[in-house]
Amino acid sequence: MGHQLLPVSLPLLNHPSSKWYHRETVALHLFLATYNPGKVAEYLSLLGTLPLDLVTPSQVGITTAPEETGATFEENALLKAKYYLERSGLLTLADDSGLEVDALNGGPGVHSARYGGPGISDSDRVRKLMKALEGVPWERRTARFHCVVALAWPDAAWETFHGTREGYIALEPKGANGFGYDPVFFLPELGMTMAELPPEVKNRLSHRAEAARKAMLRLQKETAVTQLVGNRSPKTSFRG
């Protein structure tokens, strides 16, 4: 069974200099650095076996977000993880992900969430993508989802974990599950789009699932409280 989000009081937002700071308290909570309800639902399922209480920005009154200025998914994931670590004092998990379409020279890439400009809907972005690929034959519609999960610890250590999923951009959207570009991301081995998959299947196969599993394995190795806060390589990247 996956995690449920539990009420969290502001004293848990602590830095080592705070009178509220307790290594044991910080180590038992994992801050999910996202406002996206779709991502929150996925992580609640993906990280359900961890002995950690999951915390989101809305639970603790954090309403701001960093400007995503990185040139890569890894840079943006780390930028977000460090930003929310600074504001929460908690072990923080952030991700950055996007769609890389070969016929668009890897675009929209790191701009996937902002493709077409700010304030437009997922369906508007999908329409823009389909417009950009008009006339592109099936064999040239290859694409991949790429996700980087970053973990940032209160002692300034950080690690990153990569996951990818290969596929094609469909000729038309199909499916009502998922979010973002899922309705047009076709998985040839399954004969359906990502949005047609039941959530439990997507959570086994997606780019985010792959990266999250690697992060979860890293956290599972650190079950002792003192290990969870310290005793790790300060900067690491894992690719899959």
The enclosing domain of 163 has a CATH number of 3.90.950.10
- Print the domain residue range for 55: 10-238
State the chain's mean pLDDT as an integer.
84
Asked if residue 4 is part of any domain, the answer here is: no
58 against 196, higher pLDDT: 196
Residue 37 maps to a domain: yes
Establish if 58 belongs to a structural domain: yes
Give me the pLDDT at residue 230, please: 45
Instruction: Write down the pLDDT at residue 35.
Output: 92
Residue 142 lies in a domain: yes
Confidence of residue 227 (pLDDT cuts 50, 70, 90): very low
Alpha-carbon distance of 175 to 173, in angstroms, equals: 7
Catalytic residue among 96, 102, 155, 182: 96
DSSP 8-state assignment for residue 134: T
Residue 1 lies in a domain: no
Residue 159 within any structural domain of the chain? yes
- Number of domains comprising the chain: 1
User: CA nearest 93: which of 145, 152, 40?
Assistant: 152
For residue 5, what pLDDT is reported? 53
> Mean pLDDT throughout 11-32?
52
Q: What is residue 27's predicted lDDT score, i.e. its pLDDT?
A: 53
Q: How far is CA 128 from CA 56, 59, 178, in A?
A: 31, 34, 19
Confidence (pLDDT) at 237: 47
Q: Do the domain assignments include residue 2?
A: no
Q: Give the tens place of pLDDT for each residue, 172-226.
A: 999 999 889 999 999 999 999 999 999 889 989 999 999 999 999 998 886 444 3
Band of residue 17 on the pLDDT scale cut at 50, 70, 90: very low
Clarify whether 124 is annotated catalytic: no
End-to-end CA distance of the chain: 26
Distance CA 43, CA 68 (A): 21
| Domain contains 136 | yes
Q: Is the pLDDT of residue 11 over 50?
A: no
Q: Could you write out the DSSP letters of every residue in 208-221?
A: HHHHHHHHHHHHHT
| Nearest-angstrom CA–CA distance, 53 and 29 | 5
pLDDT digit string, tens, across residues 137-165: 999 999 999 999 999 999 889 999 999 99
pLDDT in tens, 22-51: 444 445 789 999 998 888 888 888 888 888
pTM of the full structure: 0.81
Residues 6 or more apart whose CB falls under 8 angstroms from that of 192 comprise 174, 175, 186
The pLDDT assigned to 101 comes to: 98
In this prediction, residue 192 carries a pLDDT of 98
